[in-house]
Amino acid sequence: MAKRKGGAGKGESWAARVIGFTGGGRWLIYLSMALSALSSACSFVPFVAVYLVVADVVAVYPDFAALDAARMAGLGWMALGGVAGNIGLYLAALLCAHSAAFDAEYNLKLQIVEHLGRIPLGRLEALGTGRVGKVMDESVGAIEGFLAHSLPDMAAAFTAPVAIVVLLFVFDWRFGLAAVACVVAAFGVEAAGFSNKAITDKMRRHLVNQERMTNATVEYVRGMPVVKAFGQTAESFGRLSAAVRAYTDLALDVALFWQSLMPAFTAIINNAYLFVLPVGIALGAGLTGGAFRPFALDFIFYLLFVPSIAGALNKMMYISEDSMIISSHLSRIDEVLGIPALPAPGPGAARVPERFDVELDGVSFSYGAEGEKGAPLALDGVSLTVPEGTTCALVGPSGAGKSTVASLVARFWDVSSGAVRIGGIDVRDIDPDVLMGCVSLVFQDVHLFRASMLENIRMARPDATREEVVEAARAAQADAFIRALPQGYDTVYGSEGVHLSGGEAQRVSIARAILADRPIVVLDEATAFSDPENEHLIQKAFERLMAGRTVIMIAHRLSTVAGADQIVVIDGGRVAERGRHEDLLAARGTYARMWERYAQALSWGIGSEAPNGREVA
């Protein structure tokens, strides 16, 4: 895979990749690691000062008046300087690391969002909002935390053992060997855990199951009205129940595996003096006179010093655990960034349409994965032309492929074969931003953001004035109900219980399309939620929206398409018929049968005769 902007290629180590996300701020990370290493080295200065103080005291014992006061004060300042250097350098390291980490978090989130905007819409829907949310929040947050804290600590963690080893062997190598034996024993316990491939695989699957559980929980909460309406429970909601059980089983397996190893590691490393104490007793048993004093000095120093091993090795343990977790988070981020984006024309190769007719030329399309054999075709050899400034209505049974045509025109997906052209130019040769500047979309499912109604409409054209937004809302028959909201156009959707009906939300979507003022308009079931009283007002809004534009209209309400310049009947992913309303009725084909059933449905009521000839009560 090509090297990504602000990141690193997959062939590099996980540490290099994480640092790569900082972009131009890498030098801050390297500086923070250097400062943290110096901070770690300074933390051992007080131990040396204490050793020298004890050495001087032992040397003059019991005549303490012979102590050099100036030297004692100097050693005190030396210890204080070590403490101050440790704290000051570490704070400076964290300051540098956090600055770079915040930049990396911003860059990575922006990179993911930009990539999500370039991948096929179907792939984005397959990811699920829960999974995308976890990647954006947890995985990116873990990267930020690792850069801000773990990397500086890593530098300190690897500096500390070097300093410890030097100090352990510089005074008495025998005590040094005893302390090293403690370290070897502790790491032997830890290695037994991290070298277990079964448990590392379970930890990886634990994160995957956590994502699945989040997705299932989001779906369950969103479907709560249906679940309650039919008296279902969480247990009966199979996907959520299975996801929770799978997550729980793995979480228990991981916890039970570490329940003995982690306490053992902690107990060994926090009691390193127990390895030094018997060695000291054995070595000091035969010493007398002048030989005992220097030995006692070293013994006391080691008993005071070896507890510091626990802090250093605990840091190393957490760093190794962090590295495993970060590798999992990187894999999750790669799963998103690894989804192939829709190919964009190269520099200088993009073309700009000068007219706005729409043509589908032998288009076939499947929602299956690219290269998947045997995947059913949503469209099969569809060809149609919508001249500029005319209206083409697509009708047909549910699942026939009508919405797929609309999505291909906007290039939410690429065709499997054939071509979609605007102004004679293949949409794959048009810059995506230019293409979106040519097409307005009004879909059946409307998403309103938690923002003011003014901003919800203005998102179609951010530079629009308030007056232009109000005019667009008025044309879409949305002005009256927006003004009736608590703060009118400044009412924040979703706050204080403010929500809109399906028909009202649809009119906000139409207002966006009117404000966008683009030459091609795609209406996908845009009147699905309009009530009978307001349907004629919506049709007036459509007249304003559609005037002089190329329009592709998808509708099940056949009354809304009767006046279209051409009607194309899609059935089973193919074009079954095409023509004007009157011509298709005269042909007595699929459209005529659909119209007859539509008319019967309009005339049906409780107690009337159903189309099958039976009385309905």
Residue 193: give its domain's CATH number: 1.20.1560.10
**pLDDT of the residue at 606:** 55
DSSP codes of every residue in 404-428: HHHHHHTTSS--SEEEEEETTEEGG
Residue 35 lies in a domain: yes
**pLDDT of the residue at 2:** 37
Measured distance CA(148)–CA(513) in Å, rounded: 44
* 420 pLDDT tier (thresholds 50, 70, 90): very high
Q: Is residue 581 over pLDDT 50?
A: yes
* 501 pLDDT tier (thresholds 50, 70, 90): confident
More confident residue, 539 or 80: 80
Q: Is residue 401 over pLDDT 80?
A: yes
- In the chain, the percentage of residues whose pLDDT exceeds 70 is 85
Residue 261 lies in a domain: yes
Residue 8 lies in a domain: no
DSSP alpha helix (H) spans, 223-291? 224-229, 238-269, 273-284
Residue 291 lies in a domain: yes
DSSP alpha helix (H) spans, 172-196? 173-194
Q: Is residue 435 over pLDDT 80?
A: yes
**Other C-beta atoms within 10 Å of 560: how many?**
21
**Residue 560 contacts residue 506 (beta carbons within 8 Å):** no
**Residue 56 contacts residue 49 (beta carbons within 8 Å):** no
Q: Which domain holds residue 71?
A: 14-337
Residue 136 lies in a domain: yes
Strands of the sheet with 520-524, listed across from one edge: 439-442, 520-524, 550-554, 391-395, 566-571, 574-579
**Residue 76 contacts residue 19 (beta carbons within 8 Å):** no
Residue 478 lies in a domain: no
Question: If we measure between CA atoms, which residue out of 552, 480, 564 comes closest to residue 513?
Answer: 552
Residue 485 lies in a domain: no
Residue 407 lies in a domain: no
Measured distance CA(554)–CA(539) in Å, rounded: 14
* Residue-wise pLDDT tens digits, 114-173: 888 888 776 777 777 777 888 888 888 888 888 888 888 888 877 877 777 787 787 778
Residue 213 falls in which region: left (phi positive, over 0), alpha (psi -120 to 50) or beta: alpha
Please state the domain count of the chain: 1
Measured distance CA(452)–CA(127) in Å, rounded: 29
Task: Taking each helix axis as running N to C, give the angle between helix 45-60 and helix 292-305, from 0 to 180 degrees, rounded to the nearest 10.
Answer: 150
**Other C-beta atoms within 10 Å of 472: how many?**
28
Measured distance CA(187)–CA(3) in Å, rounded: 37
Q: What are phi and psi of 570, to 5 degrees?
A: -105, 130
**pLDDT of the residue at 186:** 77
Most confident of 93-107, 299-313, 539-553: 93-107
Measured distance CA(159)–CA(180) in Å, rounded: 16
